[in-house]
Amino acid sequence: MAPGHMIPMIDIGKLLAKRGMIVTVVTTPVNATRFKLIIDHSLQSGLQIHLLQLQFPCKEAGLPEGCENLDSLPAELMSNFFIATTMLQQPLEEALQDMQPLPNCIISDMGHPWTSSIAQKFQIPRLLFHGTSCFSLLCSHNMFHYKIHETITSSTEPFLLPGMPDPIEITKAQLPGMMVAPSKLSSLSMGNKIRSTEGTEYGVVVNSFYELEHKYVKEYQKAKGKQVWCIGPVSLCNKEASEKTDRGNKASLMKTCVFNGWTHGHPSQSCMFVLLIELGLALEASNRPFIWAFRSGDQSGELDNWVRDGFEERVKGRGFIIRGWAPQVLILFHSAIGGFLTHCGWNSALEGICAGVPMITWPMFAEQFTNEKLIVEVLKIGVKVGAEVPVRWGEEDEIGLQVRKEGIEKAIVALMDEGEEGEERRKRAEEVGEKAHLAVEEGGSSYLNLTLLIEDIVLHSSQKSVNE
């Protein structure tokens, strides 16, 4: 239960409902409020997509009341949070017992390994959703298959990751799942639980498309030995501006403020869209127009004060500051946007790809370093800012200590360069963006994969009924 996982799951629900499926989204009350507008709009459009709200056991798990999402969670309570999610198993089982007919399948996020037991109990096929690319999934698979974490001693010395279609060098610290300090988050046991249920799933649903990473789709499916359905980019199911604005938390500004005002004063592809902290000096020095979005709250209080204390006035007319949740998809598709500085979370990376916008990559943790490899080294549509060491979850604001102003400014200048290298990078980004849109249109690879997924589940259900 985190924005980067929940938002694409809602989009998957919409995609299935648009194909005539009856969809039930299982969530909790606080999280449900984030998607109520989307669900209500879908129902008004005739889609059969509903919310099943399970009470989240905050008190029982030792969490503050209303702490139902990772973006509102103190880092030291991560273990409590995962305990709370496992306590949803019983109420979900009770809800399924009263559901007639039973669902034909469960699509479960990887963060809920306990749904494997529910699928087995009710004999319902369980599709696993990871929320990242086949490239990163193959990196993780090969890490454990070849036992890299056991054989490499240095955490900072690059080595060649075995079993990859392209030569990919990485450090042990940058491997997915290896960069979080277990003493702080106690996440290794959760990772072990997730891996212990791998192999029990019926198949894997991936928010990607074949043309983007075809070699890695093939290799990952071969490694899994099960069907892998690439049905993305799922964000492209949102056609209207209101749908793009309403995804996730409440946007911190209305689209009219952005598009009818500030952005219209800048030429096409001239602006940078930024989602990171500790970037002010580099943005100011770059002399490029930019939109800078950073989260609000206690952790960003010092930054917010700094921005208000002279910075905002110095970049007035050139810089646009968004405090809190930004309507990212809406911004990225604006003609003024010519670059995107991102953490390399897969949702953001894929949304940048869909918009045909080249990226500056600044990974911090999880699979973000492997996503950077795909963007920069395989697709060649990005420029690295130079981050090499992961940041512990909950300490993201300290990332500014790793990369200096000069490195950020250099990456911005390189990405926005109008010379031959910059133009070639921009052309590649635009080409892959066009392929993303074709993939989800009728006749496209992702459209076909969604059709095959539905047909497979329908056939499975029919065979089950005959056997019963």
Residue 8 pLDDT class (50, 70, 90 cuts): very high
How long a stretch of residues is the chain? 468
User: Residue 255's pLDDT is what?
Assistant: 44
3-class secondary-structure state, position 227: strand
For tokens 């212990």, name the residue. Answer: 196
Please state which of the ranges 22-26, 150-154, 233-237, 378-382 shows the lowest mean pLDDT: 150-154
Helices and strands per DSSP (H, E), number in the chain: 22, 14
CB contact at 8 A, 89 and 108: no
Give the domain ranges of the chain.
Answer: 3-237+441-467, 251-437
Same fold, 3-237+441-467 and 251-437: yes
Query: Would you say residue 189 has pLDDT above 60?
Result: yes
CATH of domain 251-437: 3.40.50.2000
Mean pLDDT of 91-98: 96
Calculate the alpha carbon distances from 60 to 27, 64, 65, 74 in Å.
18, 10, 10, 17
d(CA 48, CA 56): 25
Give 237-293 pLDDT, tens digit per residue: 988 777 766 666 655 444 445 544 556 666 666 676 655 445 778 888 888 888 888
Please state which of the ranges 97-106, 119-128, 185-194 shows the lowest mean pLDDT: 185-194
Query: Would you say residue 395 has pLDDT above 90?
Result: no
Beta bridge partners of 291: 273, 320
Name the average pLDDT for the chain: 86
User: Residue 408's pLDDT is what?
Assistant: 86
Query: Would you say residue 124 has pLDDT above 70?
Result: yes
Give 354-377 pLDDT, tens digit per residue: 999 999 999 988 899 999 999 999
Mean pLDDT highest for which of 131-145, 187-201, 294-308, 441-455?
441-455
Tokens read off for 368: 């973000």
3-class secondary-structure state, position 207: coil
CATH of domain 3-237+441-467: 3.40.50.2000
Calculate the alpha carbon distances from 48 to 77, 102, 245, 459 in Å.
36, 16, 22, 21
